[in-house]
Amino acid sequence: MPEHLSAAVTITTTPFSDQKPGTSGLRKRVPVFQQPHYLENFVQAIFDSISPPQGATLVLGGDGRYYNREAIQIILKMAAANGFGRVLVGQGGILSTPAASCVIRKYATFGGIILSASHNPGGPDGDFGIKYNTANGGPAPEKITEAIFSLSKTIMQYRILDVADVALDTVGEYAIGKMTVSVINPVADYAELMESLFDFDAIRTLIAGGFRIKFDAMHAVNGPYAREIFLNRLGAPVDSIMNCVPLPDFGNGHPDPNLTYAHELVEILYGENAPDFGAASDGDGDRNMILGRHFFVNPSDSLAILTANAKLAPGYREGLAGVARSMPTSAAVDRVAVELGIPCFETPTGWKFFGNLMDAGKVTLCGEESFGTGSSHIREKDGLWAVLFWLNVIAVRRQSVEEITRAHWAHFGRNVYSRHDFEAIPSDAANGVMKHLKDGFATLPGQKFGSYTVDVCDDFSYTDPVDGSISTGQGLRILFTDGSRIVFRLSGTGTEGATVRIYLEAYDPDVARHHLDAQVALSELIGIAGDLSQLVARTGRVQPTVIT
Ligand code: VG1
Ligand code: CO
């Protein structure tokens, strides 16, 4: 029998107990994924839970991190053995998360598998991750991820084809068993979608007129996308992009576009002769950080500003159906929604909660405080989309990033905002902090702390307005009578110990105070958060690992 027609073999396996997807898929250290059968079990659990019809098409790609190529080969052989008719895979195994979502939707597929641990570091001792996206292009909802987890706990066997590896580096069609593998250009469909949404002519004119941009791909997946869009399609000079060669270990960096980990870009934008505009994206290309010259745009403000200016971009000229933000994201966008007369939804953390709202046509733009912004053009957050949106707004308004942001605050008031992350805390200590807080909730309302009085405390829960599904335990909220708030949450994407996130927000309508640094403006709330949580005593941590 010719090798490419080899029969599927059924391999006997035993379950792993720890394959529970978190905020965004299953993330573990690379050596965990390299254990025999570990990846295979999870992939079979995905296939068993979605039971694809014979001949269905799957999309497959990842952010190029260490183990990406090996995992792609395994999944291709398993897809063939599980009856898929075709797999669309990005050349070299590459697809950014937003590009994967775009391709899933464009070619009417049965969904896709995305290999990424997003902003987590990569390399042999770094992290790897895998998630399933449904036919709408969005992350599988909790109902599906729970089904996958429960199958993973009882799995006894998986199916795989015993064939040679597929040539991933050349665009073309290959047969494995009865299945076709289409190796596609990972950038083309996505770049075309971006051109349909934004005024590329206006942005090209802006750049040709001397407006200087700097985009940092952080040696992650967006490098080739940035090269095609900024250099080839928008005519930006070569030095407009940096770190645009994807590396399996992200150049030993932490591909998280924030003020701490994207410091190379931050130093350029805060240095002498700084460019007019700076931006970065994360490991899998779905996050964005926006900088002006000597200026940082808080992601919650970015969502509000894009919402207020949406009609300046051709793709949103008709207006927005509504907006949505995750619960810890600041309420800046809520104020814009009121003025626009459109609904605003508050969901739990994680992009999967926006999918139903977008599918039902209830919202157009969505965002999270964690550098995630996007719209219903796909079903994932989208880093380069946010960058292009900002450039489109600037090209029309002819104002700097700082001027646009300050004008926004002057009009709507400023939701002063910060997030403090305490990473790699022993799980027991982190759980102790959360329990201590929750235990205090019964007696907190009405109590006064400095200039703040507690109004309500709760553990956020969400009822999906489309399918009625309920998600509980989504973050501890302390809401004060003046609308300020402190939120405590444990991360669902970390792989080492626990990460405690503290989200702080206060509203300030007074322009005279809008120049204040957020840490200064929020200093009293930061102190209250420390007192109420006993974080220092319980974890020994005095300073956050990351401040945004
Ligand atoms: C974090 C962010 C969340 C985001 C998630 C996935 O989750 O807070 O807003 O949706 O990462 O982003 P957590 O549970 O660690 O707080 V990505 O770009 O890592 O896929
Ligand atoms: Co990401």
3-state SS record for 308-337: HCHHHCHHHCCCCCCEEEECCCCCHHHHHH
- Whether residue 136 is found in the same domain as residue 225: no
Q: Are 181 and 76 in contact (CB under 8 A)?
A: yes
- Whether residue 260 is found in the same domain as residue 282: yes
Residue 5 in this model has a pLDDT that exceeds 60:
no
Per-residue confidence (pLDDT) for residue 6, from 0 to 100: 61
Per-residue confidence (pLDDT) for residue 162, from 0 to 100: 93
Per-residue confidence (pLDDT) for residue 492, from 0 to 100: 80
Strand partners, 346: 325
- Whether residue 173 is found in the same domain as residue 271: no
Domain of residue 351 covers 190-412
Q: Give the end of a domain, one of 186, 219, 253.
A: 186
Count helices and strands (H / E) in the chain: 18, 27
* Structure confidence at residue 493 as a pLDDT band (50, 70, 90): confident
Dump pLDDT digits (tens) for 312-323: 999 999 999 999
Mean pLDDT value of segment 353-379: 97
Q: Give the end of a domain, one of 380, 412, 444.
A: 412
Q: Could you count the other beta carbons within 10 Å of the beta carbon of residue 221?
A: 35
Closest-CA residue, ligand 1 atom 20, reads 118
Q: Are 325 and 283 in contact (CB under 8 A)?
A: no
Per-residue confidence (pLDDT) for residue 3, from 0 to 100: 43
Mean pLDDT value of segment 204-231: 97
> Does the annotation count 118 as an active-site position?
yes
Q: Give the end of a domain, one of 344, 379, 412.
A: 412
Domain count, the chain: 3
Measured between alpha carbons, how far is residue 537 from residues 103, 127, 429, 488 in Å? Answer: 49, 30, 10, 16
Dump pLDDT digits (tens) for 280-331: 999 999 999 999 999 999 999 999 999 999 999 999 999 999 999 999 999 9
Dump pLDDT digits (tens) for 519-540: 999 999 999 999 999 989 888 8
* Structure confidence at residue 17 as a pLDDT band (50, 70, 90): very high
Please count the residues of the chain.
548
Measured between alpha carbons, how far is residue 163 from residues 39, 59, 94, 177 in Å? Answer: 18, 20, 22, 8
- Whether residue 408 is found in the same domain as residue 521: no
Q: pLDDT > 70: what percent of the chain?
A: 99
- Whether residue 418 is found in the same domain as residue 310: no
- How far does the centroid of ligand 1 lie from the alpha carbon of residue 370, in Å? 7
The DSSP symbol for 285 reads S
Measured between alpha carbons, how far is residue 503 from residues 303, 395, 420, 465, 486 in Å? Answer: 17, 33, 6, 25, 6
423 lines ligand 1 (CB under 6 A): no
Residue 4 in this model has a pLDDT that exceeds 90:
no
368 lines ligand 1 (CB under 6 A): yes
| Integer-rounded Cα radius of gyration of the chain | 23
Per-residue confidence (pLDDT) for residue 375, from 0 to 100: 98
Average per-residue pLDDT for the chain: 95
The DSSP symbol for 172 reads E
- Whether residue 73 is found in the same domain as residue 114: yes
Per-residue confidence (pLDDT) for residue 444, from 0 to 100: 92
Report the alpha-carbon distance of residue 545 to residue 339 in Å, rounded. 37
Mean pLDDT value of segment 236-241: 97
Per-residue confidence (pLDDT) for residue 495, from 0 to 100: 74
Instruction: Say which residue, 253 or 505, is predicted with more confidence.
Output: 505
493 lines ligand 1 (CB under 6 A): yes
Dump pLDDT digits (tens) for 121-139: 999 999 999 999 999 999 9
Residue 2 in this model has a pLDDT that exceeds 50:
no
- How far does the centroid of ligand 2 lie from the alpha carbon of residue 116, in Å? 8
Report the alpha-carbon distance of residue 391 to residue 208 in Å, rounded. 13
- Cα angle 448, 451, 420 (rounded to 5 degrees) comes to 95
- Whether residue 374 is found in the same domain as residue 386: yes
CATH number at residue 493: 3.30.310.50
Per-residue confidence (pLDDT) for residue 24, from 0 to 100: 84
Report the alpha-carbon distance of residue 119 to residue 429 in Å, rounded. 24
CATH number at residue 22: 3.40.120.10
| Catalytic, out of 118, 152, 281, 471 | 118
Q: Are 453 and 447 in contact (CB under 8 A)?
A: yes
Per-residue confidence (pLDDT) for residue 376, from 0 to 100: 97
Strand partners, 418: 504
- Whether residue 359 is found in the same domain as residue 422: no
- Whether residue 281 is found in the same domain as residue 241: yes
Residue 395 in this model has a pLDDT that exceeds 90:
yes
- Whether residue 386 is found in the same domain as residue 355: yes
Ligand nearest to the CA of 63: 2
- Whether residue 223 is found in the same domain as residue 299: yes
Q: Are 208 and 237 in contact (CB under 8 A)?
A: no
- Whether residue 160 is found in the same domain as residue 282: no
